[in-house]
Structure 1
C-alpha cells in the first residue's frame, strides 16, 4: 500500500481545518462551503476514506505515527503476503 507523503497530508489537513473554521463562522457563504467541501474531498482521496471526518481522523493518526507500519496496524490493515512463484512457473 502506497502511503502519501506526511508533508502533503499535514498541508491538506491544515487546509481542511482552516476552511472548516471559515465555513462554521459564516455558514451562509457558499464559496467558503464549496472550498471546505473541496478540501474534504482532497483529504478523502489522499487518505482513502469515504467521509471527510474519517479522513481527517486518519490523517491525524497517520501524522502521529512514526512509521508507516504503525499506521497500517492502527488501521487494522495487514500487508498482503508476498506470493512466490512456484517451481513450475520458473
Structure 2
C-alpha cells in the first residue's frame, strides 16, 4: 500500500480544516463551499477514503502514529493480500476429457 508523504498530508489537512471553518462561518457562500468540497476530495484521494470526514480522521491518525501502527489500525479489507506461495490447483468442470467431442469430428 502506497501512502503519501506526511508533510503533504499535514498541508492538505490544514487546508481542509481552514476551509471547513470558513464554510461553517458562511454556509451560503458557494465559492467557499465549492473550495471546501474540493479540499475534502483531495484529502479523500490522498488517504484512500470515500468520505471527507473519514479521510480527515485517517489523516490525523496517520500523522500522529508510525507507519506500522497506522497500517495495523486500518481495516483488514484495505490491506494487500499476501501472495500465494504454494501450488495452485485447477478444478476442471464438465465431463472428463475422453467424453468430449471436438467440433471438427462431427
Confirm or deny that 1:80 pairs with 2:93.
Answer: no
Task: Give the equivalent residue in structure 1 for 2:62.
Answer: 62
Answering whether residue 23 of structure 2 is matched by residue 33 of structure 1, we say: no
More off after superposition, 72-81 vs 1-10 = 72-81
Mapped to 2, the partners of 1:50 and 1:17 lie a distance apart of 17
- State the TM-score, normalized to the length of structure 2: 0.73
Distance in 2 separating the partners of 1:80 and 1:5: 23
Q: Write the distance in 2 (CA, Å) between the matches of 1:62 and 1:17.
A: 16
Who wins on radius of gyration, i.e. which is larger? 2
Tell me the residue number matched to 2:99.
none
Alignment of 1:9-24 (within 5 A): 9-24=9-24
TM-score normalised by length of structure 1: 0.86
What is the Cα deviation at residue 59 of structure 1? 0.3
Offset of 1:83 from its aligned partner? 4.6
C-alpha offsets along residues 5-47 of structure 1, whole Å, 9 cap, x if unaligned?
Answer: 0000000000000000000000111000000000000000000
| In structure 2, distance between residues paired with 1:65 and 1:79 | 20
Aligned to 1:50, the other structure's residue is in SS state coil
